[in-house]
Structure 1
Amino acid sequence: MKSDVQVRLLRHATLTIEIANTKFLVDPLFAEKDAYDPLPHSGNNIRYPMVGLPFDQSEIEQIINEVDAVLVTHIHNDHWDTVAQAIIPKDKPLLCQPTDLDLLKQQGFKNVMAVNDQLTYNGVSINRTGGQHGTGEIGKKMGIVSGFVLNDGTTKVYVAGDTIWCEEVEEALNNFNPTITIVNAGAPQYMVGDPITMTPNDIMQVANHLPSTKIIAVHMDTVSHAKVSRVDLRKELSAKDYLDKVLIPSDGETMLF
């Protein structure tokens, strides 16, 4: 029997989500291993992505052809990279936050839709949520980020995006009561400032706030300023009896709900 919802982690925050017979590609980072210069102010000289995709170029093309739309939470290069911009057809529907609409159009994409609050696409209701990409001055410099809730009337998938645990995430959990919550983990951190995505403690806050949601933790083992690996996260969650509440998929892994 076919699953109602399928979530596949490709790498980092790049996902495919199939819901209501509609397939979304989220935050494509399609470059080969070591394609990009080290991130500035990260305290190391490690190029990224630190790992390759778990399949070859032909499967990337197949994925792009199969998806109905691309969902871009924000336009940092590790979520919307130059390779994705080059190889995704310019007429492929893109869904984005309002602040990114003009730039995506300037990049030549012809079918860009901003989610101001809510829109319906192919029978899937899509609500935009807020977030905080860090704290203080670093958070301000990281810019505006969004999450999105995909709802087919039965299952609600909350893609939290690049955010820490904050009031906006709490509000999204309260307002939408998501069945599945996808969080960007890894706790990346520059030489100055606090983590800019979720730490293990942040993820545990999500679990505590909405015990009914199934959490999927992604966004690890790909960029060099991330401080928490999958191994680290499993260890911390296990030590505090949260491991059964959080799925930590490998690159390429598909989860059925």
Structure 2
Amino acid sequence: MNKKEEGVVIMNFQQIRNATVTITYAGKKFLIDPWLQEKGAFPPVPAESQERNPTVALPMSIDEIIKNVDAVIVTHIHPDHFDEVAAKVIPKDTKMFAQNKEEAEAFKGFGFKDVEILKESGTLFGDIKLTKTNGIHAGDEEIVRYFTQFNVTCNASGVVFSNRNEKTVYIAGDTIWCDAVKEAIDTHKPDIIILNAGGAQFVTGGHLIMNANDVYEVYKAAPQAKIIASHMEAVNHARVTRRALKQFVEEKGMSSNVLIPVDGEAYTF
């Protein structure tokens, strides 16, 4: 939990599963991209593996995950970032942050009463500034075709957390390395960067989220930052394992900068 010791604020990050994480920041607990379905509840997407999704179970109970949550941020409404279980179990008076008007209306349709759209100019939540960032999730025509087939959005966002008493945190969201990510790093100079780094990929087309080489590009752009690799080993189209990424990180000399949490693992900063 976030606490003050001798005037120093401690920020907490916990990896839950896939892109689902919690961040306790400046006294507020945020739940990011809640995917709360049981293991195997969702059919596989077109990929080499035909394992059902999620491919792993939650590392803790849903009650523990949503306990004391002050706000939920959904970077985009894809089935592995917000699901019917989350819509049901998250209290309807919880603050919800959406990436655009269409998804804000969807949350209202689920019955949530306090929904706000993240802005690129920044959105205040108490004394925390949340700044929407952009990226590229659907980078080629094949990916667009698959997303259209699944009737899901091609757009995804990220968010930067800033507060005068905290380190600046950048959640890149579902994106590959691109100019928008570099711009976010150059503009906000984050101390902590959370990357969706499982290298997810359909049968054809490019990768949908960052792979090992993309993590390396982020490291070169922000050599002072701590990088946390999330969104790993939970969907059937993930190509990058934690073991493979760890080996790559060691080969590139990034071990002191890159953290690769297992599900349920937490860090304080």
Q: Same fold (TM over 0.5)?
A: yes
8 Å contact kept, 1:22–1:122: no
Q: Deviations over 1:218-252 (max 9, x none)?
A: 11110010001101111111122122210001111
Superposed displacement of residue 3, structure 1 = 5.3
Q: Which residue of 1 aligns with 2:221?
A: 209
SS in 2 for 1:105: helix
Q: Which amino acid aligns with 2:92?
A: K
SS at match of 2:256: helix
Runs of 4+ in 1 over 6 A off after TM superposition: none
Aligned mate of 2:112, from 103, 109, 114: 109
Aligned to 2:130: 126
For 2:158, the equivalent position in structure 1 comes to 147
Compute the displacement of 1:138 (Å): 4.0
Alignment counterpart, residue 70 of structure 1, candidates 51, 55, 72: 72
Shift of 1:206: 0.4
Please say if 1:4 is aligned against 2:16: no
- 1:47 aligned residue (40, 45, 52): 52
TM-score, reference length from structure 1 = 0.94
How many Å separate the matches in 1 of 2:65 and 2:209? Answer: 27
Q: How far apart are 1:157 and its partner, in Å?
A: 0.7
Gaps of 5+ in 2: 148-152
8 A contact 1:129–1:147 mirrored in 2: yes
Aligned partners of 2:242 and 2:260 also within 8 Å: yes
Distance 1:156 1:68 in 2: 19
Question: Tell me, which stretches of 5 or more residues in structure 1 are unaligned?
Answer: none
SS in 2 for 1:63: helix
Q: What amino acid does structure 1 have at the position aligned with 2:195?
A: V
Aligned positions, number: 253
Aligned residue runs from structure 1 range 154-169, under 5 A: 154-169=166-181
Measure how far apart 1:123 and its partner are: 1.2
- For 1:245, the equivalent position in structure 2 comes to 257
- Assess if the C-alpha contact under 8 Å between 2:182 and 2:221 holds in 1: yes
